[in-house]
Structure 1
Amino acid sequence: MDPRVEEHAEVLVEWSARVEEGDNVVLNVGPDAHELAVAVAEKVGERGANLHTAYSSGEVGRAYALAHDGDFEEDPDHVLALMENADVVLSIGGGRNASEGSDVPPEVQQAQSKARQGIREAYMDTDWVGTVHPTRSLAQQANMSYEEYREFAYDAILRDWESLADEMAKMKDVLDAGSEVRIVKEDTDLTMSIENRVAVNSAASVAYDSHNLPSGEVFTAPAATEGEVFFDVPMTIRGERVQDVHLTFEDGEVVDYSAAENESVIGDILDTDDGAKRLGELGIGMNRGIDQFTDSILFDEKMGDTIHLALGRAYGSNFPEGHEDEANDSAVHVDMITDVSEDSFLEVDGEVVQRDGTFRWEDGFDADA
């Protein structure tokens, strides 16, 4: 076994999920993630936790969704009970086809998502962490050789997370003290309120309210969004390639949208529910170990020189204690990315914090360019 697989498992179990003796752990395993799953199971056993393993396949999910009549039972008891009794849920992606499920009708996807709201809430109450095992299908999706992709993935995953957390704390402090964010670049001039919000220093550990490995972003929950934004980083969303998305906001909601490719996917997302028309997240990528786009939101949204916004559900961790119920509610949370490496700036309360991808505490920053 590649020693990096063992390192990946150790980071996931010990740093990210903080698994402890006696924890009830659910391990969701993708079809080609067997090797990492074995290493993770060993680490969970060493820590004296209880393990339940589930098979997580896009092909299986597609077969079920297409065969179903679309009238899904709300929160089936057996699945809900599993989530309600879990302390930790680890999900290891490693599918065989990134576009699996693209032919499932959007109304079926929406119905299934809405019917699993309670399960999703129970899942979010656990110490959940998602990661991926580098696979050939992910390498192909990223347009890389398998070996090249493995090097890329481990550079992003096997980081000095404590040092990165210290650096990202600077951005968290700026957002926590701020009231308004403005993003400006070509075809983008967007303002958002972040007043009375708590930014999350997403350092790949539940100890930081962070649930992705790799991570490397600082995110918050915006409100009162006004203006327009252009997402120029192509993404696969619901199995479909979506490119050059443009959204216009008024009074906090999307009032117009377009896309150069698969525009209907955006329309279907916006039609899910009222919350899908509002933003649930503003995220600022800060992981310099990610240096190219791979068509995977897990990596691409964490990349330095990017900002991402998510339509739909907001995270309760972005709200002061006792105000979590103010978070935007939706059955969806769909991230889209804009490249801010050139001819762009990010302002907080009128002060430039990042210009052309460089933060004000980094070498080469020019506030007046």
Structure 2
Amino acid sequence: MDERIHEHARILVEWSARIEAGDDVVVQVDEDAHELGVAVAAQLGEKGANPVTVYRSGEMERSYLSSHDGEFDQDPDHALSLYENADSVLSLRGGRNTSAMADVDGDIRQAYSKARMGVHEARLDTDWVATVHPNRSLAQQAGMAFEEYQEFAYAAILRDWESLAEEMQRMKEILDAGSEVRLVKESTDITMSIEDRIAVNSAASVAYDSHNLPSGEVFTAPYDTEGTVLFDVPMTLNGRHVRNARLTFEDGEVVDYAAEAGEAALAEVLDTDEGARRLGELGVGMNRGIDRFTDNILFDEKMGDTVHLALGRSYDSNVPEGETGNDSAVHVDLITDVSGDSRMEVDGEVVQRNGRFRWEVGFSESES
């Protein structure tokens, strides 16, 4: 087995999930993530943890949903119990077909998401971490040779996470102290309130309230959004390609939308529930180990020179204790490229221009 797979598993178990002896762990293993699952099992054995393995398949889910009448039982006890009794959930992604769900009826998909809200909440209450095992379907989706994609993925995953956490702390402190964020670029001028919100230094570890590996972003929960934003980074949403999606917000809510491709998929998300038309997240990508877009949100949203906004649910870690953020059955990230003529301001001060942060070499105090 490739030694990088063992290192990936070690980082996941030790740094990201912080697994300890006696922890009850659910390991969700996608079809083509078998090798990573084997390496993770070895790590869990060394720790003395108690794993339960769940097999996941996009084709199986498609088969189930396509044959269902849409009247789903609400939060089945056996599924709910699994996650309510888990300390950690490790999600090892790597399906065989990234478009396996492309032809599933949107209403069926929405009904299923709503019926599993309690199960979803129970999973989020654990020390969960999602990661990706680089496989051939993801390489194909990224337009890369398999070996080339492996090099790309491990450059993003096998990082010195402690050093990156120190750098990202600067952005966290700026957002924590700020009241308003403004993002300006071609076809984009949008403002968001962030006052009294708590930014998360997403350094790929539950110790930082961070749940993705790779990670490398700082995110918060905006509200009172006004303006228009163009998401010019293509992505696959529910098995369908979305390109150049444009959203217009008034009083915090999407009032107009369009897309050059995949507009129907975008409409499905927005129509899920009331909260789906509001933002649940503002994220700033800071992982310079990710150097290209690959149509995989786990990587693309963490890339330096990007900002992403998520429609739907916000995370409890971003709001003060006792308060709640935006509620929705969905959390869908959309990405805009800020490497060109752009700026991000916090309370009127430019903290990022043309993809460079104020503390980085190459940052310009003024437009050039």
- What range is the shorter-chain TM-score in? over 0.9
| Offset of residue 281 of structure 1 | 0.2
| Offset of residue 367 of structure 1 | 1.8
| Offset of residue 364 of structure 1 | 1.0
2:301 counterpart of 1:318 = no
The percentage of aligned residue pairs carrying the same residue is 69
| Offset of residue 24 of structure 1 | 0.4
After TM superposition, the structure 1 = structure 2 runs for residues 100-179 of structure 1, keeping only pairs within 5 Å, are 100-179=100-179
Report the counterpart of residue 28 of structure 2 in structure 1.
28
2:332 counterpart of 1:327 = no
How many residue pairs end up in the alignment? Answer: 367
1:100-148 per-residue CA deviation (whole Å, 9 max, x = no partner) reads 1110000000000000010011000000000011100000000000000
Report the counterpart of residue 46 of structure 1 in structure 2.
46
Q: Secondary structure at the match of 2:213?
A: coil
Report the counterpart of residue 70 of structure 1 in structure 2.
70
Q: Secondary structure at the match of 2:42?
A: helix
Q: Secondary structure at the match of 2:111?
A: helix
Report the counterpart of residue 257 of structure 1 in structure 2.
257
2:226 counterpart of 1:208 = no
Structure-2 separation of matches of 1:28 and 1:262:
29
| Offset of residue 321 of structure 1 | 2.0
The CA RMSD over aligned residues, in Å, is 0.5
TM-score w.r.t. length of structure 2: 0.99
Report the counterpart of residue 357 of structure 2 in structure 1.
359
Structure-2 separation of matches of 1:98 and 1:270:
22
Report the counterpart of residue 225 of structure 2 in structure 1.
225
Structure-2 separation of matches of 1:285 and 1:76:
37
1:192-231 per-residue CA deviation (whole Å, 9 max, x = no partner) reads 0000000000000000000000000000000000000000
Report the counterpart of residue 368 of structure 1 in structure 2.
366
Structure-2 separation of matches of 1:97 and 1:367:
45
Q: Secondary structure at the match of 1:190?
A: strand
**Structure 2 letter corresponding to 1:367:** E
Structure-2 separation of matches of 1:102 and 1:362:
41
Structure-2 separation of matches of 1:59 and 1:45:
30
Report the counterpart of residue 181 of structure 1 in structure 2.
181
Report the counterpart of residue 339 of structure 2 in structure 1.
341
Structure 1: unaligned runs, 5 residues or longer: none
| Offset of residue 268 of structure 1 | 0.9
2:282 counterpart of 1:282 = yes
Structure-1 separation of matches of 2:266 and 2:147:
34
1:315-337 per-residue CA deviation (whole Å, 9 max, x = no partner) reads 000012222xx210000000000
Q: Secondary structure at the match of 1:174?
A: helix
2:287 counterpart of 1:297 = no
**After TM superposition, what 4+ stretches of structure 1 lie above 2 angstroms from structure 2?**
none
**Structure 2 letter corresponding to 1:89:** V
Structure-2 separation of matches of 1:281 and 1:47:
34
| Offset of residue 40 of structure 1 | 0.1
| Offset of residue 262 of structure 1 | 1.4
1:17-57 per-residue CA deviation (whole Å, 9 max, x = no partner) reads 00011110000001111111000001011101101001011
2:191 counterpart of 1:194 = no
Structure-2 separation of matches of 1:275 and 1:132:
28
After TM superposition, the structure 1 = structure 2 runs for residues 237-276 of structure 1, keeping only pairs within 5 Å, are 237-276=237-276
1:219-251 per-residue CA deviation (whole Å, 9 max, x = no partner) reads 000000000000000000000000000000000
TM-score w.r.t. length of structure 1: 0.99
1:237-280 per-residue CA deviation (whole Å, 9 max, x = no partner) reads 00000000000000000000000001011111111000000000
Structure 2: unaligned runs, 5 residues or longer: none
| Offset of residue 166 of structure 1 | 0.1
Report the counterpart of residue 307 of structure 2 in structure 1.
307
Structure-2 separation of matches of 1:329 and 1:349:
26
Structure-2 separation of matches of 1:208 and 1:71:
39
1:255-308 per-residue CA deviation (whole Å, 9 max, x = no partner) reads 000000010111111110000000000000000000000000000000000000
Structure-2 separation of matches of 1:367 and 1:205:
33
